[in-house]
Amino acid sequence: MNIVAIVGSLRKNSYNRQLAKAIQERYSDKMHVEILDIGSLPHFNEDIENNPPETVVSFKKKVKEADGVIIVSPEYNWSVPGVLKNALDWLSRVDKVLINKPIMTAGASSVTFGTVRAQLHLRQILSSPGIQAKVLPPGGNEVLVNFAGEKFDENGRLVDTNTLQFLDGVIEKFMAFVKTENMK
């Protein structure tokens, strides 16, 4: 299974990047996860959407060819970071590569509620007319890593047993969801 991960934080050692790497490494025997670079994408501009730079073309191609997408994002001001929104704007225009694409959301934060508001807003964005993605349904599938500083070690590895066990279950459901959605 070929999955791409989009991390909504540009910070090298962000908890969200560490969470994406944990997913990439822990499930490497079940799926190939490529973490995409959204920091090099230019600001979305309708003047160039029909003839975008190569970074945009390559980014959209990888998303289009993937079986599914995992979006791992922090929460900024109760929403998604601008850099993630910019990436989604590029994906929603012209060839609209996210339509019917299976997606899982996740996030890590140092506070109590994790990234719940950002993920709720992300679900709204992912249902918009230009995106129309198939998001893994809520109800036990919300990966909200709170108090992240206590759950990652000094090397950035996710080490919290309860979080890892929960993530195992959600990833299994996501892989089944991807298979089902791609058979339609």
Give the domain 2-183 fold.
Rossmann fold (3.40.50)
Enter the pTM of the model: 0.97
**Structure confidence by residue, pLDDT tens digits, 115-166:** 999 999 999 999 999 999 999 999 999 999 999 999 999 999 999 999 999 9
**CB-CB neighbours of 160 under 10 Å:** 16
Chain segment 46-77, per-residue pLDDT in tens:
999 999 999 999 999 999 999 999 999 999 99
- State the average pLDDT over residues 96-118: 95
Q: What is the pLDDT of residue 114?
A: 80
pLDDT at 156: 95
**Which residues, in sequence order, are bridge partners of residue 104?**
70
Cα(171)–Cα(106) distance, integer angstroms: 11
* Domain ranges, ordered by start, for the chain: 2-183
Cβ–Cβ < 8 Å for 133, 88: no
